[in-house]
Amino acid sequence: MYDSLTNATLGNLLGKRPFRCYDVVASTQDVARNWALTDPTLPTGAAVIAEQQTAGRGRQGRAWISPPGASLMCSVVVRPTVPGEQIGRLTMAGGIAVAETLTPHLPGRVRLKWPNDVLIEGRKISGILSEATWLGDHLEAVIVGIGVNVRNDFRSTELEQRATCLETELGRGVDRRPLLADLLRRLDYWAARLDDPALVEAWRGWLGTLGRRVTVYPQLGAAYEGVAEAVDEDGALWVRTDAGLRQRVIAADVGLAES
């Protein structure tokens, strides 16, 4: 494959960044977490990259399936210095990083869907998963996992109307290696600014959820509908229900109504 991701092909591109690249792993999240726990000197920005995952996961334990060589799949170690209630901002940072990386290729077409999806005109092209790793009450690291569909073929599958990939949208091939380098640089930038109000404002600016009619599917209780009005500094979504109540949504799936 012309853009194979290997230790050799990425070495010069990623410079001094510590990284490990694999042909196949169960989950880059698990490899990155174990690396962070066993090496306390490992700095923020260290990355685990894989061509294929056999047990990749998304939000709420969903599987992230991708054929070998079809996606960018990486997990980045971040050692935040912000209060625990702000570590959810790393999902914001990941979303912004993906949006800024893809926009030069797809100007005006990239939007974020609360809380962790990147969409191209309503179809998912990327997802972000941030997982905190604790030792007792001490936060050791947050592992930010990012998957970007680059050449996944969703035609004639059940995902055809809900997912897309970069090469399909561009109608040409894409070298994943500079794309990865750009993505990691943008994540570095925003991960260093978790306590900066500019992070939340940038995230709000990319969100396509606000002002839209949504259906909220809580982890407990019945689904309900309303209008997504705002997001707060901790990343929670505020929804005005059809009954006129204003609900703060933290952990739930949210579906967008058709425009």
Q: What is the pLDDT of residue 66?
A: 73
How far is the C-alpha of 18 from the C-alpha of 15, rounded, in Å?
8
Domains of the chain, residue spans: 7-206, 213-256
- The per-residue pLDDT for 61 is 56
Residue 200 is given by DSSP the state H
Could you say which residues of the chain have pLDDT below 50?
none
CATH number given to 213-256: 2.30.30.100
CATH of region 7-206:
3.30.930.10
Cα separation of 3 and 39, whole Å? 30
- pLDDT at position 108 is 96
First and final C-alpha spacing in the chain: 39
Joined tokens for residue 153 = 């073929």
* Residue type, position 37, single letter: L
- Residue 217: its pLDDT value, please? 92
Element (H, E) at 249: strand 246-249
* pTM of the shown model: 0.93
pLDDT at position 33: 97
Fold match between domain 7-206 and domain 213-256? no
Q: Give the HSE-up count for residue 193: Cα atoms under 13 Å, Cβ half-sphere.
A: 18
pLDDT recorded at residue 63: 65
CA distances from 102 to 98, 174, 177, 217, 241 (A): 6, 11, 13, 29, 33
